[in-house]
Amino acid sequence: MLRKLHGLMAVLLAAVVLLLPLGAAWASGPLRSPQGSGGVPVVMPPLIDKPASTGIHREFLLHTIIPARSRVDVIDYTVQMGDSLFSIARRFGITPETLLWANYGVLRDNPDLLAPGKKLKIPPVNGVYYKWKKGDTFESVARKFHSTPEAIRDFEGNHIDPLNPKVEPGTWVMVPGGRRPFKQWVVPTIPRGKAGVSLGYLGPGACPGGYTGAVGTGTFVWPTPIHRLVGNNYGPSHLAVDLATWIGGPIYAADSGVVVFAGWSTVGYGNMIMIDHGNGYQTLYAHLSQVNVHCGQSVFQGQLIGLGGSTGNSTGPHLHFEVRYKGGFINPWTVLPPP
């Protein structure tokens, strides 16, 4: 019996020894035996090491989509130091004209009446913010402001019932895309000759006229040492450019000519200078802290005429610079050298 047991153990040991190479080959890849039964090669699958347990791992995407919604309500804004009509309009994504139209009671269509502490209405879209009057209809208001009745009725911020569309007198409504003419508030062009009318209403800086003197070259230099815009740009609502300066910064004559206004103005421009260049051009320099010239004085291109400031209706130091030709306003960027 013992002899049989020893014989069985020997057979098992021999089998293990013979199978060890086969197991190693199987674990490392497919094993092809030289011959299977009937002479056909045998391909055995590889052993694949797998973790003790597997599962599905979910990635959490912490991302929430918030729909962007346009503003539909009018909001209040208090003017701050350094603000301009253009900067406020740009901040809220509307045109300067829309801002003026919504605040006629405060600004009277004049950007230079902007001052720190003033309260403005900021419309949500471009157009006219209008107070409904007795007898108004959607058609008449749309026609008045070059819009459409549908634009007024369908604008969400007007809160008009589509089943019973009506507006009570005294209600403020937005006329999207609407427009109206401006009431321009500007200093009249003052010639070097006798004006023929009293200009005293413009302030003590007004000159009586009747002068002769220097004539312009027809070219222009920058009136400020800083060659960039700092406030309002030229446009329908602002017939000038606001150039960067500082209180006490030098202000130069853009071309040669004769001074026809020098001193304080009562139209919101503070200390102001106007030069008649004798060739159809006039230039105006406003909000100065100091005026260094006098009525009838000949000045020459590039000459110091005053100092930068923030006098009159101003929210910060800048030079309000106008260029006129034969009584009409022209864009200063068309005559100034490239910055």
Write the CATH number for 226: 2.70.70.10
Helix (H, G, I), strand (E, B) or coil at 92: helix
Residue 65 has pLDDT above 70, yes or no: no
Write the CATH number for 166: 3.10.350.10
> How far is the C-alpha of 46 from the C-alpha of 149, rounded, in Å?
79
**In this predicted model, what pLDDT tens digit does every residue of 158-200 receive, in sequence order?**
999 988 999 999 999 999 999 998 776 677 888 888 766 567 7
Boundary-marking domain end, from 176, 192, 222: 176
Here the tokens at position 27 are: 């674990």
Here the tokens at position 15 are: 């089998």
Residue identified by tokens 């009409």 is: 328
> How far is the C-alpha of 99 from the C-alpha of 106, rounded, in Å?
11
Model pLDDT, residue 25: 43
At 166, the amino acid letter reads: K
Model pLDDT, residue 198: 66
Residue identified by tokens 């329908």 is: 236
Q: Which domain holds residue 294?
A: 200-334
Phi and psi angles of residue 157, each rounded to the nearest 5 degrees, phi first = -70, -15
**In this predicted model, what pLDDT tens digit does every residue of 289-319 receive, in sequence order?**
999 999 999 999 999 999 999 998 888 899 9
Residue 240 inside a domain? The answer is yes
Of 73, 111, 130, which Cα lies nearest the Cα of 267? Answer: 111
